Structure 1
Amino acid sequence: MALEDRYGLPLSTTSDQAASAYREGVDLMLAGWTGTAETLERAIAADPDFALAHIARARVHAFYQQGDLARSKATLARKLVAKRGTERERSHVETLALAIEGRLPEAIAAMSEHIESWPRDAVVLSLPLGAFGLFAFSGMADHDRARHELCERVAHHYGEDWWFLTMSGWAMTENGNVARGRAVTERGFNLRRANAHAAHAVLHAMFEDGSIEAADRLVDEWLPTYDRAGILHGHILWHQALGALEHGDAARALKIYDDVLQPSATQAPPLNVITDSASLLWRLSAYGHAVPKALWVEADATAQKLFPKSSLPFADVHMALFAAATQNREALSARLGVIEQRLADGKLPAGPVVPAICRALAAFADEDYAACVRELAPVLTEVVRIGGSHAQRELIEDTFLVALMRSGELPRARSLLDARLHRRPSLRDTRWQAAMG
């Protein structure tokens, strides 16, 4: 009898050990759990010609920005699957390889075609989902809706699958149906508690519906089951730090930063290293709390090593935050120049919002808050194009609010805060008291 993955799709291996390790490794990857790489290596050791194990391992390398390793394993997987692989496996490998190589439009097209034929290929379906997925980083203004609609289209193929409930629930949350999204995500979480993506998705729903105390309890109760080396360990505590700021508890937020988020302490992937550190330190400052300069300097030094050149817009925006906070106008100007050239060349799918944000931050660094407001005001509705989640992108609105306040436009700032509170009930007014005066 042919060996299969957990979703009933045939695997081109005759090794029970390889198939078993692959199934376990994929589940660990879909759960954001530790042991993923080691388990996939076991599958490769049991059958060195098993292409799907190699491409899955390549994807884990890509998570950690190990580009050379990821690309080399993708190349090997292509060769192996051409010799021994089904049509589904060849399409699977090619789609993941395109994503690993950063060929986003081609990867999205290949993913869409693949899912039409094999909707239960969860590894391929995972590519466009989440805040750092293909859709989020495509530059689309409607990527939240696109994720939700994709999940709705294939939902009948998955039923009560723990992974699918996790991701489809989060897609609902980000697309504005927070109550349903939280309920669906919690169903998936209850089916498999060893699932960091589910814990993370529930925290996003709690952020959106204002359940700050419940989110705090969830982290305290669940996190001890999750190893510090887990891909989302630091980011989950970043969410707890945001909750602390909701209550004006800057000391607790800074302690979380010191313990797990600062570059010398974290084991997170590079993109999380820079985005979590920059955004939390920026929020602390924006809400009127003192941030030791040494924290910015250390984090900026690491960020410059990890992302020395312009890359994803989401990364570029956070690098601009570092440059603004450290008043490194030269670095910000250089990165902005590259971004503007990419826009002029038609190679920036996210469009004018990216350089506009960077110009606004440059103005902020020069304490020209009126110019910051002028740059951001026309693009606030386009910020979604940079990717990430609502919780992460709210930072840009926060920057706009600070610029409004520092340029003396308090009535406009209050109006924006009122609109936010109407959109999403929480304690967001109290964290601005120090800044508003």
Structure 2
Amino acid sequence: MAHQDRYGLPLSTASDAAASAYRDGVDLMLAGWTGTAEALERAIEADPDFALPHIARARLHAFYQQGDLARRKAAVAREIVARRGTERERSHVETLALAVEGRLPEALAATLKHIDTWPRDAVVLSLPLGAFGLFAFSGMADHDRARQELCERVAQHYGEDWWFLTLYGWAMTENGDVARGRPVIERGFSLRRQNAHAAHAVLHAMFEDGSIDEADRLVDEWIPTYDRAGILHGHIRWHQALGALEHGDAARALAIYADVLQPEVTRAPPLNVITDGASLLWRLAAYGHAVPQALWAEADAAAQRLFPKSSIPFADVHMALFAAATQNRETLASRLAVIEQRLADGKLPAGPVVPAICRAMTAFASEDYGTCVQMLAPVITEVVRIGGSHAQRELIEDTFIVALMRSGDLPRARALLDARLHRRPSLRDTRWQAAMA
């Protein structure tokens, strides 16, 4: 009998060892678990002419911004699959290769076409899902809805699959249907507890429904089972730090930063390194807590090494936080010039919201709160277009609220806070007391 993946799709290898190792590697990758690279390397060693582990390995390299390695692996996969691979595998390799090469619009179009024919190809389906997926970074204003609709379209093909339930439930919660989404995520999590993406998705649901203390307990209980080298280890603790800030506990948030998020200790992928670090330090300062300038300087130096040039808007916005907090106007001006040129050339799908946020954050850091409000007010409903999750993007709304408070527009600030507390009634006002001061 021909080898198949866990979803019943044929694999072009005659090697039992290669097929088994590939299945293990894919499951580990879909779970965000350690050991993924080792499993895929075993598959490659068992059958070097089996294309799929090569392209999966390329994707893993891309997660960690190892662009040259990723592109080389993608090229190998393309060469192999052209001479030994099914139509499905050729499409699979090409779609992932486009994503690895940063050709995101082409990758998204190829993904949707591929899924129409092979809906159970979970590795390809994973590309547009998640906070850093192709939909999130498409510049679309309705990418949350698009994710949920895609999941609904293929749900019949997955049933009670642990991976799919996790991503489907998360898509619901990000699209505003937390009451329906959280139980779906929790069902997937119960089927496979060694699944960092499931733990992460549950934390997002808890963030949305205001279950802050429950989220804290979940992290304390679950994180000891997850290696610090895991792709989401630091980010999951970042969620715990956000919970600490809901209680006004700056000391605990800073302790979590020092333990797992600081550049010298983190083992996270580069995009998480800059976004988790910048957003936590910025929130601390915005809520009125003291942040040692040395922490900003160290984090900024690391960020400049990792993202020396303008890239995806989500990264650019967080790089603007570093530039604003360290008063590095020259670096920000250089990055803004590139961003605005891309906007003028029609090559910035996220649109004017990106430079507006960058300029608003600079004004905020300079205590020019009126200008910050002026910059953000016209685009605040468009922030979704930068990608990421709602929990991550809430940083922009928080900055807007604090700027309103400090510029004297308390009625508008209170209206935004009341709307948030209506959505998440168990939230506390503790963090806003310092900001109001």
Counterparts of 2:44 and 2:179, CA distance in 1? 42
Q: Hey, what's the Cα distance between the residues in 2 that align with 1:387 and 1:262?
A: 23
Matched, 1:46 2:50: no
Is 2:233 the counterpart of 1:225?
no
Which residue of structure 1 aligns with residue 29 of structure 2? 29
Partner residue of 2:98?
98
Q: Which residue of 1 aligns with 2:164?
A: 164
Q: Deviations over 1:378-424 (max 9, x none)?
A: 10110000000000000000111121122122222112111211122
Q: Is 1:248 aligned to residue 248 of structure 2?
A: yes
State the match for 1:348 in structure 2.
Answer: 348
Distance in structure 2 (CA, Å) of the matches to 1:251 and 1:366? 25
Match of 1:120 in 2: 120
Residue in 1 that maps onto 2:419: 419
Taking the aligned partners of 1:266 and 1:339, their CA distance within structure 2 comes to 28
Contact 2:406 2:436 in 1 (8 A): no
User: Residue in 2 aligned with 1:339?
Assistant: 339
Are the equivalent residues in 1 in contact too, given 2:169–2:183 (CA < 8 A)?
Answer: yes
Matching residue of 1:211: 211
In structure 2, the partner of 1:135 is: 135
Deviations 1:160-203 (A, max 9, x none): 00000000000000011101111000000000000000000000
Aligned partner of 1:288: which letter?
A: G
CA shift at 1:327, angstroms?
A: 0.9
* Deviation digits for residues 77-108 of structure 1 (CA, Å, limit 9, x no counterpart): 00000000000000000000001111111111
Distance 1:428 1:287 in 2: 13
Q: Corresponding residue for 1:8?
A: 8
* Distance across 1 between alignment mates of 2:228 and 2:25: 19
In 2, Cα distance between equivalents of 1:430 and 1:253: 14
Q: Does 1:312 align with 2:317?
A: no
TM-score, normalised via structure 1 length: 0.99
Q: Which residue of 2 aligns with 1:386?
A: 386
Distance 1:45 1:253 in 2: 44
Structure 1: distance between partners of 2:183 and 2:249: 29
Tell me, in whole angstroms, the C-alpha distance in 2 between the residues paired with 1:406 and 1:334.
Answer: 29
- Report the counterpart of residue 183 of structure 1 in structure 2: 183
Could you list the per-position Cα deviations for residues 89-134 of structure 1 after superposition, in whole angstroms to 9, with x for gaps in the alignment? 0000000000111111111111011000000000000000000000
Task: State whether residues 52 and 77 of structure 1, in contact with CA within 8 Å, keep that contact through their aligned partners in structure 2.
Answer: yes
Match of 1:79? 79
1:61 matched residue in structure 2: 61
Instruction: Give the CA deviation at 1:434.
Output: 1.1
1:137 is paired with a residue whose SS is helix
CA distance in 1, matches of 2:411, 2:309: 39
- For 2:410, the aligned partner's letter is L
2:209–2:423: 8 Å Cα contact kept in structure 1? no
TM-score normalised by structure 2 residue count: 0.99
**Residues 31-86 of structure 1: CA distance to partner in whole angstroms, max 9, x if unpaired?**
00000001100000000011001000000000000000000100110000000000
The residue that corresponds to 1:363 in the other structure is: 363
Letter in 1 for 2:354: V
Following TM superposition, by how much is the alpha carbon of 1:330 offset from its aligned partner in structure 2, in angstroms? 1.1
Match of 2:296 in 1: 296
Shift of 1:428: 4.2
Please say if residues 247 and 427 of structure 1, whose CA atoms lie closer than 8 Å, have aligned partners that are also in contact.
no
Q: Which residue identity does 1:344 align to in structure 2?
A: A
The one-letter code sitting in structure 2 at the alignment partner of 1:123 is V
Give the alignment's Cα RMSD to 1 decimal.
0.8
Unaligned runs of 5+ in 2: none
Distance 1:330 1:365 in 2: 15
How far apart, in 2, do the equivalents of 1:425 and 1:178 lie? 13
Amino acid at match of 2:348: L
Aligned partners of 1:4 and 1:19 also within 8 Å: yes
Aligned length: 437
1:147 alignment counterpart:
147
| Other structure's SS at 1:418 match | helix
Q: CA separation in 1, counterparts of 2:321 and 2:405?
A: 18
Amino acid at match of 1:108: L
For 1:99 and 1:156, how far apart are their aligned partners in 2? 26
CA contact (8 A) 1:188 1:198 kept: yes
User: Secondary structure of 2:377's match?
Assistant: helix
Q: What secondary structure does 2:327 align onto? A: coil
Deviation string, structure 1 residues 332-387 (Cα, Å, up to 9, x no partner): 11111110000000000001110111111222233221111011001011000000
What is the Cα deviation at residue 430 of structure 1?
A: 2.0
Aligned to 1:283: 283
Answer yes or no: is 1:403 the counterpart of 2:396.
no
Give the counterpart letter for 1:177 in structure 2: D
Distance 1:300 1:320 in 2: 10
Range 403-412 or range 233-242, more displaced: 403-412
Gaps of 5+ in 1: none
Residue 371 of structure 1 aligns to a residue whose secondary structure is: helix
Aligned AA (1:330): E
Contact (CA 8 Å) 1:62, 1:100: kept in 2 or not?
yes
Per-residue deviation, 1:227? 0.2
Contact 2:74 2:97 in 1 (8 A): yes
Identity of aligned residues (%): 86
Contact 1:260-1:266 within 8 A present in 2 as well: yes
1:174 equivalent in alignment to 2:205:
no
In the aligned structure 2, how far is the partner of 1:79 from the partner of 1:257?
Answer: 44
Deviations 1:251-277 (A, max 9, x none): 111100000001011000000000000
- State the Cα deviation string for residues 207-235 of structure 1 (Å, max 9, x = none): 00010111011000011000000000000
For the Cα contact (< 8 Å) 1:329–1:365, is it kept in 2? Answer: no
- What amino acid is the match of 1:74? A
